[in-house]
Structure 1
Amino acid sequence: MRFPQIQIRTTDAKIDLNISKPRQYIKQPRATQSIEQPAAIIDIRTTKSVLKIDSSQARRDLGLIGPLESVANYAQKGKQMSLQGMARIAREGRQMMENAGKGQGSAIIQGIAKQNHGPHPVRFNVKFVPSIGSVKIDYTPGTTDINITRQKPKIDVQVNKPIHEYTPGNVTGTMIQRPSVQTDVIV
């Protein structure tokens, strides 16, 4: 005996899809910055230092003196020498007066001449010119005061929003072949 058979045939569906991809554009512009650093304020105050050098005594030791002082020195020396000369002449006159008539006559004048014109001892020694401590130095140091006032930086930042453009994708489909199912019974 033969049994009936069922034969099933199917046809798949065929679809043609057109896909357009989505497009996305993102850009982040940099932030706009303005940075300014003002210069610091510097205030410097100084007092002058003073250096005083007095070398007048050293110049005197070397024989370098001004005209007014030189004239005064020579006048003083001349006055002293004239007083010494008068004293010497008075002393010699007194000697001649006291010894006159004692029979010495010319011996008195010879003794006085010997006193005035004999070989005089010469004094010598090492002399340091100018003398030690003859240059006087006085120094007053100066001062320096520095005041700095710092300035804060000026920062201005402007954040820019991102640029975002989006085009969505699209899918369209066309049915090329429709699905079907066929059944046959074979006896």
Structure 2
Amino acid sequence: MQIPQLKMESSFARLGLNVTKATHEIKQPQAEMNLRQQPAELTIEQARTELQIDSSQARANIGIMTPMQFSDSNASYGYQKAMQAIAEKSQEGDRLMRIHTKENAIAAIGRERGMRVLDSGYSPPASSGDEGVDISIQLKPVVINVRRNGMSMDPVIRPPEFTYIPGKVEPYILQQNSLKIEVVGSQLDRMM
């Protein structure tokens, strides 16, 4: 006797996947420095040099004197003549006092005075070797001022830009699953 048997055939489902990869982008915008350099300031001050020329002594040497110089010159000449006269009188007095020398002092002094040539009077002072011109120069230094104004910076910082697109996975069926059952060995062959 034939026992009926079940015959089964199955197939598994096969899946397919559509994968879209994720994208990740990073952009770094360039920063702005915004530098400003202020120009430096330079000031130079040149003071005037002073030149002084004094020709009063040179003028006095050729006889052109200022009233003060003329007054000083006359006073000096008068003082010199007064001292000379005092010296002469003192010497004459000493000679008259020496009686013991048996010199006729009064006659000798009279003879000397009579033979003396009279001066012409006042004569201006002799000229100096350097012509009497005084030159003086006062040099004044240059004053230099430097002012540094420096630099100013105003940076603009830009953050990085991120762009992210997530990936996708889409499944699809390549083959459906199936189950086939057959009864074998019986008079009825049926398929379910």
Give the alignment's TM-score, normalised by structure 2. 0.39
TM norm structure 1: 0.40
Larger Rg: 2
